[in-house]
Amino acid sequence: MPYYEGVIKRKFKDLVGSKYEAIQKEYSEYILSEEELRPHEIKSILLPLDFSVTEISESICELLSVYENATVTMLYITDAQIHEIIMDSLDKDAGDEFLRKKEEYGTHLLDDYENCFESRGIPCKRRMLLGNKRQDVLKLATDFDMIVLPKCYASNHPDSCDVSGDAILLAQSLAQPAIIF
Amino acid sequence: MKILVLLDGSMWSHKGALYALRIAQEKKAEVVLFSVLDKRDSKSMAFNFCTQSNMCSRIENYESQIWRDLRKNINDEMAQLLLFFNRKGIQTESKIVEGAVAKEILKEVEDGGYSLIVMGGYGRNPRSGGSSLFPKLLGELEVPIFMAR
């Protein structure tokens, strides 16, 4: 008997045929089908990054090398709302300077992660955008098989952060498997 | 590499174990299948049942039966996964402990030298909910957490 079918039969061994199907339909929020129980093939991975990420995690690069044919897309986001507030409350130059500094940091971070992945033979892509750190990740996540999220992502206090609210909310809202590090 | 797989009897945590298997095969990792049984779970399930059914005179019977069922379910789960992992050539150990779930997991991680923790994305909640254990573990642990979905 195939493994997945066996697991389901063992869990619901007192139910047979149409009764099982009826229960599965009624309790579909709780029950996984045979297909859903099977781990997904991981071919595309999204790694959101921002200013709160202060160091490269070699162990994450190592872990992702498990997924041989997967491409990692690194996404560095600068908060558009803060940029706008600076523009409105100060001036355009201050806004541009804010953006320049964040993107300069982002470029270094993406370079370092790119080295980390490429040294392990993991293909990667990079993207940088001005947007909403939570909403944009949720929007883009649908195109990926797995999300890998730094645990202080989008934190305003990266130096003293154990875990950020946005990282928890994102991890709990995603429909894909996720690694939080 | 050593991977801790958290099992709570849900199909999501079972799926997590299957993701862990893939990682263990690639990385030649050692796996520990770990489950915590908390007496408060069977107490709360028995109490809910008694208040909904107006049959509270038998609450102690319900509680001990639920406790037996929880234990049997997780034992079966562990045995099946252990066999499956061993057949795949993965060095695997299983552990079932009793106590408060978060506390016991933190204790295990602290003592175990793990590089990854794997858990179901929803715990025993429906797929629209989230595991309440997850934020607590994330705040306390340095080890990456894999949430299976």
Residues A117, A135 share a domain: yes
Residues A114, A64 share a domain: yes
Residues A156, A84 share a domain: yes
Mean pLDDT confidence for B125-146: 84
**B111 to chain A, minimum CA–CA distance in Å?**
19
* Between B122 and B80, residue with greater pLDDT: B80
The CATH number assigned to the domain holding B87 equals: 3.40.50.620
**Is residue B122 scored above 90 in pLDDT?**
no
Residues A156, A87 share a domain: yes
Residues A13, A85 share a domain: no
Q: Residue A1: what pLDDT?
A: 53
Give B67-108 pLDDT, tens digit per residue.
999 999 899 999 999 999 999 999 999 999 999 999 999 999
Residues A81, A28 share a domain: no
At residue A130, φ and ψ (nearest 5 deg) are -100, 115
A66 touches chain B (CB under 8 A): yes
Q: What average pLDDT does chain B have? A: 92
Q: Residue B129: what pLDDT?
A: 65
Per-residue pLDDT of chain A (181 residues; tens, 9 = 90+): 567 777 777 777 777 677 778 887 888 888 888 888 999 999 999 999 999 999 999 999 999 999 988 999 999 999 999 999 999 999 999 999 999 999 999 999 999 999 999 999 999 999 999 999 999 999 999 999 999 999 999 998 888 899 999 999 999 999 999 999 9
Calculate Rg over the CA atoms of chain A.
Answer: 21
Give B27-77 pLDDT, tens digit per residue.
999 999 999 999 998 899 899 888 888 888 889 988 999 999 999 989 999
Domain ranges, residue B110:
2-148
Residues A153, A82 share a domain: yes
Q: Using CB atoms, pick whichever of B14, B127, B146 lies closest to residue A177.
A: B146
Rounded CA-CA distance B105/B94 in Å is 14
Rounded CA-CA distance A80/A78 in Å is 6
Q: Cα A171–A177–B1 angle (5° rounding)?
A: 100
Which residues of chain B does A32 touch, with a Cβ-Cβ cutoff of 8 Å? 11-12, 15
A160 touches chain B (CB under 8 A): no
Residues A69, A29 share a domain: no
Q: Residue B16: what pLDDT?
A: 96
Domain ranges, residue A31:
1-38
Residues A123, A88 share a domain: yes
Q: How many domains does chain B have?
A: 1
The CATH number assigned to the domain holding A44 equals: 3.40.50.620
Residues 6+ apart with CB under 8 A from B132: B123, B125
Q: Residue A93: what pLDDT?
A: 94
Residues A63, A28 share a domain: no
DSSP string across A84-137? HHHHHHS-HHHHHHHHHHHHHHHHHHHHHHHHHHHTTT--EEEEEEEE-TTHHH
Residues A91, A3 share a domain: no
Q: How many domains does chain A have?
A: 2
Nearest CA in chain A to B1: A63
Contact map slice: A 114-153 vs B, CB within 8 A: 151
Q: Using CB atoms, pick whichever of A10, A11, A180 lies closest to residue B145.
A: A180
Residues A34, A12 share a domain: yes
A171 touches chain B (CB under 8 A): yes
Q: Residue B128: what pLDDT?
A: 67
